[in-house]
Amino acid sequence: MKIELWSDFACPFCYIGKVRFDKALKNFPHKDEVEVVYKAYQLNPNAPKVMKTTPEKAFAKGHGITPEKAKEKFNMFKQTAASEGLKYDYDNIQMTNSFDAHRVAKWARKYDLEPELTNRFMKAYFEEGKNIADHDTLIELVKEFDLDQTEAKKVLKNNEYEDVVKNEISESRQVGVQGVPFFVLNRKYAVSGAQPQENFKQVLEKLYEEEHPLKKMDGLNSGDACTDESC
């Protein structure tokens, strides 16, 4: 079973949705048969590398709303995140560009660490007020996973994995992604948004049942049984 997940480190519901999905997957009896592939997406490709205003003004400008409405949104995000044990810090959040962080995540894929780095970047962005567009910050986060810092610096300096990120963003349009998080299941089904954990559980079960339909044993006659019309 293959699940492709399009998300952005700067998306509040992507972090929440990923936590819920991860919990459902952890409790899924056949989780070893599930391949999860992370795909890059950018909600705001024009976001700056350094935020030069307040979070509410930055958010308001990007969404065409007032700073007061932005604060209301922040409170809603924080309450939803808190239900999953996340502590969003909108007082210190740095609303900056996520493109370089996506490039680093694609580099970490070859070391099978993209899922872990995805969690770390989201936590850094939403809970720790870190600027994930800053290269020194990204290097420090990479260091936590014993990844080669020299190699990471080279990736950032030489714009490596730029094509990978752009191709995944382009691919999102082809599969109909209009918002994130967006889950594509076996290229057959799609699930949009930070669904409740129970919904993700049902999705996983349905996918598994389709790939493992029950078969009657050969060589046996039908035994006595009740049907809807009898017994």
Q: What is the pLDDT of residues 21-58, one digit of tens each?
A: 999 999 999 999 999 999 999 999 999 999 999 999 99
Q: With 90 as the cut, is the pLDDT of residue 123 above it?
A: yes
Structural domain boundaries of the chain?
A: 2-178+192-211
The CA-to-CA distance between both ends of the chain, in Å, stands at: 39
Q: With 90 as the cut, is the pLDDT of residue 100 above it?
A: yes
Identify the burial level of 162 via C-beta atoms within 10 angstroms of its C-beta, where 0-12 means exposed, 13-18 middle and 19 or more buried. middle
Q: How confident is the model over 157-191, as pLDDT tens digits?
A: 999 999 999 999 999 999 999 899 999 999 999 99
Q: Who contacts 60 (Cβ-Cβ below 8 Å, separation ≥6)? A: 66, 67, 69, 70
The average confidence (pLDDT) of the chain is 94
Which strand ranges, in their side-by-side order, compose the sheet holding 189-192?
A: 35-40, 2-7, 182-185, 189-192
CATH domain 2-178+192-211 topology: Glutaredoxin (3.40.30)
Q: With 70 as the cut, is the pLDDT of residue 106 above it?
A: yes
Query: Residue 158 and residue 176: Cα distance in Å, rounded?
Result: 31
The mean per-residue pLDDT over the stretch 8-22 comes to 98
